[in-house]
Amino acid sequence: MQDFAGKVAVITGAASGFGCEFARIGAELGMKLMLADIEAAPLQNVAEALRAKGAEVATSSVDVSEAGDVERLAQETLDTYGAVHLLFNNAGVALGGLIWENSAKDWEWVLGVNLFGVIHGIRCFVPIMLAQNEPAHVVNTASVAGLISPQLMGVYNASKHAVVTISETLYHDLRLVGAPIGVTVLCPAFVNTGIKDAERNRPASLRNTEPPTASQLAAAAASRKAVESGRLSAAEVAERTFAAIRSGTFYCITHPRILPAVERRMRDILEGRNPRDPFADKPEVAVQKLP
């Protein structure tokens, strides 16, 4: 996809982080924007700032884990703009802890947003793109946690590995039918975004009644430290993502220093070794051994 001016972009998780920056770049390129987020007030702030600069922006309050919400978003996009050319399945949340200590509600919340948000986006928007039969593109926000398996991140890892394989399958399926639709899976490492405070958007029905365990507290502290120390900004990640869209690049790995860890995992698989610590050479982000 090369031509952005006048085209329609749909962005979930648009009120902050990567989503906000995708919207900014889209507006600068002259795109029409449909911005969606579960946080209504911050979403309106983003929209108003972009409109003040002359952008054409519509918004929708959406919980991407809910199929009906995403179906409504697709219809609202068609009602407003009549088309969709660029889809960012970007909304995401995170939590950690020893994997056996994560509750059913933890799994339901993270998989609902990170995985089913992507599923619903593909299911609702790709058929629209296919019917248009013109250049379009889908960006699914995964993570390097979709390419390696760091300790104390089991629920998050599972959701992001699923996003990677869904994206790969989507790419192959679209090629199978000869569709002019590109796919990019975004796999950043640590970036200082609002995901470190994702619990603020956790539905009351999915909150745990028990206090967090020692491992969950350790994981949260380590994650916050790593995210806040991220050297690449959300704006830079967004710029690299748009570069990937222009070039038709599938894997957008914004932090190439993580690639040796990805290679180690692949080598362990190919050579039949037990998995090695993916953060063995990054003690600054590794969690110390638990008692």
What's the structural domain count of the chain?
Answer: 1
pLDDT at 285: 62
**Domain-embedded: residue 139:** yes
pLDDT 10s digits, 183-228: 999 999 989 787 778 889 999 999 999 999 999 998 888 888 877 7
Confidence (pLDDT) at 196:
78
> Which candidate in 81, 156, 171, 251 is catalytic?
156
SS3 275: coil
CA distance to 74, 78, 140, 179, 221, per residue, from 156 (Å): 26, 32, 15, 31, 16
Query: Distance between CA 24 and CA 239 in Å, rounded?
Result: 10
Q: Which amino acid is at 7?
A: K
* CA–CA dist 122, 128 (Å, integer): 10
Looking at the domain assignment, is residue 21 inside a domain? yes
CA distance 7 to 287: 44
Residue 280 lies in a domain: no
- Residues 252-286 pLDDT 10s: 999 999 999 999 999 999 999 999 999 887 766 66
Residue 31 lies in a domain: yes
Q: How far apart are CA 147 and CA 130, in angstroms?
A: 29
284 inside domain: no
* pLDDT tens-place string over residues 31-47: 999 999 999 999 999 99
Point out which residues pair with 186 in neighbouring strands. 141, 252
* CA 192 – CA 228 distance, rounded (Å): 5
Q: How is 119-178 classified by DSSP, letter by letter? A: HHHHHHHHHHHHHHTS-EEEEEE--GGGTS--TTBHHHHHHHHHHHHHHHHHHHHHHHTT
Q: Is residue 288 part of a domain?
A: no
In-domain check, residue 41: yes
The model's confidence at residue 287, banded by pLDDT at 50, 70 and 90, is: low
Could you read off the pLDDT of 216-250 as tens digits, one per residue? 998 888 888 877 767 789 999 999 999 999 999 99
**Distance between CA atoms of 11 and 22, rounded to whole angstroms?**
8
Q: What's the rounded Cα separation, in Å, for the pair 87 and 107? A: 25
| H or E segment and range at residue 55 | none
Q: Does the active-site annotation cover 171?
A: no
Share of the chain above pLDDT 90, in %: 86
Tens digits of residue pLDDT in 141-185: 999 999 999 999 999 999 999 999 999 999 999 999 999 999 999
pLDDT digits (tens, 9 = 90+) for 73-131: 999 999 999 999 999 999 999 999 999 999 999 999 999 999 999 999 999 999 999 99
In a domain, 279, yes or no: no
Task: Decide if 187 contacts 147 (C-beta within 8 A).
Answer: yes
Domain CATH number, residue 165? 3.40.50.720
* Domain with 104 in it: 8-270
Residue 200 DSSP one-character state: G
82-91 pLDDT tens trace: 999 999 999 9
